[in-house]
Structure 1
């Protein structure tokens, strides 16, 4: 998964450079390999969704499905230009997409703030178009919000974590993009819950070791 990463593009393609893609979705699984939940909506009454990009989506997805209160997860591609891209196309650097995780969660059991803390603590959000040894635009840090409340919470968490990193001696600024949730394109079946199917599979995620403050008063508390 990372053999030729250093050769990959680290600049997002312009619209005229993007691959054309296709008009129909690529095939994917219908149910979650770990818990049997549906991978696509509806997920159940009161369930909300969130989308995060934090490096290789194999390890990122596992972080979320292991979290109590998370109903379902799926991996896919978002924030790019090419419709219905394949994994190979995304890896080419010519679609502009990020590898992301769709998280369906019960807010009565786990809050969006808690998911944001997990997001920031599970990777290094200061690395730009890479995550560890994984280099390329599809490994960038991103939060894709589905409501104004999510946007406000994401901005608060980003600011609070930036302060926490600075206090811990990290000099590089957070590069996490926060955007309105774009269309989510499901990845191929074999990528869904990959590390449950392949327990010894590659996971390149690594955090900073700094805890992320969460909640409405997180910045003020710092």
Structure 2
């Protein structure tokens, strides 16, 4: 399974080079509001059901979305934008790297079938959390590595997971993922 996930992840990463390039990879993102906007510019609100939710930025959202859609226990994955200051941005605006938004996926999951820890474990494997504002050929603040939490418990789990990933020895450089 682990070998399959890695192979699938690398294949997905290389397939997603269609995501557009943008500005300087060293640019600082704008302040982070709590609203997530979908590709259709509708706010991504917390699900009404008892599903758990976490929002993840790992580069091109279509690539990350494709991985999570295939995992048992994941009930819904929605691509969108988060972390910027422009209300209801367009994809074209996002691609400039000037809105402060990151491309993200809102991952809804059944915590009886898959834990947040496992959802986050996949996150560390499907992108490079050590590159600032880029994933492969996709460059810009909109491709930054980020975890947007929806509860204090999620924040604690994300910080614990980031720390464990950093100590794992899997990465040659420090993790730059924002939480």
TM-score, length of structure 1 as denominator length: 0.64
Structure 2 SS opposite 1:177: coil
CA contact 1:26–1:86 (8 Å) conserved in 2: no
Q: Residue 54 of structure 1 contacts residue 119 of structure 1 at CA under 8 Å; is this kept in 2? A: yes
* CA RMSD, Structure 1 to Structure 2 (Å): 2.5
Tell me the distance in 2 between the aligned counterparts of 1:26 and 1:130. Answer: 21
Q: What secondary structure is seen at the aligned counterpart in 2 of 1:71? A: strand
Give distance in 1, aligned partners of 2:38 and 2:135. 26
Match of 2:23 in 1: 8
Instruction: Confirm or deny: 8 A CA contact 2:38 2:44 kept in the other structure.
Output: no
- Counterpart in 1 of 2:65? 61
Distance in 1 (CA, whole Å) between partners of 2:152 and 2:99 is 27
Unpaired runs of 5+ residues, structure 2, are 1-17, 32-36
1:138 aligns with 2:142: yes
Tell me the equivalent position of 2:10. none
Which structure's CA Rg is the greater one?
1
Aligned positions, number? 156
Question: 1:49 — aligned with what?
Answer: 53
Question: C-alpha separation between the residues in 2 aligned to 1:123 and 1:27?
Answer: 21
1:28 to 40, 43, 55: 40
Note the residue ranges of structure 1 that are not aligned, 5 or more in a row: 16-24, 31-38, 179-222
Deviation of residue 40 (structure 1)? 6.0
Shift of 1:171: 3.2
TM-score normalized by the length of structure 2 = 0.78
Which structure is higher in helix share?
A: 2
- Post-superposition offset of 1:78: 0.2
Q: Deviations over 1:63-96 (max 9, x none)?
A: 1111111111110000011110011000011101
